[in-house]
Amino acid sequence: MMLNSPKKEGKLIDELFEGESLSITETIEDSQLLLYLGLTNDANPLFIQHKYTEKTEYKRPIVPSIMLMGIISSVVSKHLPGPGSNIVNLSFNLVHPVYHYETLTFHFEVIKIDLMKEVVTVSVKAQNYEEVRVLDAVVMVKPTKVKQSEERDVIDNDGQ
């Protein structure tokens, strides 16, 4: 049964602390870009057409900003606060264009914990391999309220 397999659990709000941080590095590959463009049917020539982008201020294809938001969302869901968390607000500022094949380092930091609203605010900054800052974001997240071990106990006790 899939629920009995060991999985990483998301942190409850009282398990988080201001200043808690995490860094991850991602390289933007063609396979990711093609999946995004195929799934969204986004035909913007800025994202894929080299001849078109040569005539623009960018000079070469750029990465869609929503893909970068997706990386942020994925890290929140997997790591900080982790599984069971839900983004309720995202403020995103693309400071510098991101190009195909760039390697980015994303820095996540818990900057505020609001116990009344049950929301954690996470600051996100990303830079490319040349250490040029490419984006800033502020993410408001509702952490999980259920530990997976508790969820399994409920399922096991119900006989399902």
Tens of pLDDT, residue by residue over 35-71, are 888 888 888 899 988 999 999 999 999 999 888 998 9
DSSP codes of every residue in 26-48: EE--HHHHHHHHHHHT---GGGT
Mean pLDDT of 123-150: 89
Burial of 76 from C-beta contacts in 10 A (0-12 / 13-18 / 19+): buried
The Cα–Cα gap between 16 and 79 comes to 12
Would you state the pLDDT for residue 6?
46
Helix 65-78 and helix 30-40, axial crossing angle in degrees, nearest 10 = 100
Between the CA of residue 2 and those of 5, 142, 155, what are the distances in Å? Answer: 6, 25, 12
Task: State pTM to two decimals.
Answer: 0.82
